[in-house]
Amino acid sequence: MLTPQSPITELLHAWRSGNNEALPPLTELVYAELRGMAWRRLRGADATLNPTALVHEAFVRLCESDVDWRDRAHFFALAALHMRNVLVDHARALQAEKRGGGLIQVTLTGIDEAPTENTADLVALDDALCRLESEDPRTGKVIELTYFGGLGRDEIAHVLDISVPTVDRNLRFGRAWLRRELAA
């Protein structure tokens, strides 16, 4: 029986070995941790919220130090995917609500940019990323792991089983490609 109380290492390992039952408690655990850390950040003076840092910190808090590197890679992949879903859904929900006619004022602690624009950006970004993934899945993955999972080049290289310079090149290309899409 896998519960959210099982150690994350165990859940990760089970999931990587093909046990899909491990995914929901794992996701719940990761999300809860991310959320908890985010609140502490938002309440503190350091109001910038960098998901990259969040995911790293979550990993440190959740995982034992001797965790297998492959499990570690999977953790980041999972965290990235989940973070992307959560954030895009959030952005989309806000947009949907606006179209519904009810004007809502999103208050963001410590963020200067107009939040609605950023959330709109994220939906467009996700759409563009989906297009990129359909044409060039690996570049898409590199972008996702970087921006939503907070992975460094080495870790991405591990997860995707490619060289570090390839990660760099893909990242540069992906960014340019997305910027062009979003500018259009």
Q: How far is the CB of 34 from another protein (least distance, A)?
A: 8
What would the two tokens of residue 96 be?
A: 């949907």
CA 89 to chain centre: 12
Q: Is 163 in the site for another protein (CB under 8 A)?
A: no
When asked if residue 106 is in the footprint of another protein (CB under 8 A), the reply is yes
The number of residues in the chain equals: 184
Answer yes or no whether residue 52 interacts with another protein by CB under 8 A: yes
| Residue pointed to by tokens 């034992």 | 64
| Sole window of 4-12, 14-22, 94-102, 152-160 interacting with another protein (rule: CB under 8 A) | 94-102
Buried b (16+ CB within 10 A) or exposed e, 114-153: eebeebbebbebbebbeebeeebeebbbbbbbbbbbbbeb
Tokens of 137: 């899945």
Position of tokens 């859940």? Answer: 11
| Least distance between another protein and beta carbon 89 (Å) | 5
Of the ranges 5-13, 65-73, 133-141, 151-159, which one interacts with another protein (CB under 8 A)? 133-141
Interface residues toward another protein, by CB under 8 A? 31, 34-35, 38-39, 42, 47-52, 54, 83, 86-87, 89-94, 96-97, 102, 104-111, 113, 115, 118-119, 121-122, 125, 135-136, 139, 143, 147-148, 169-170, 172-173, 175-180, 183
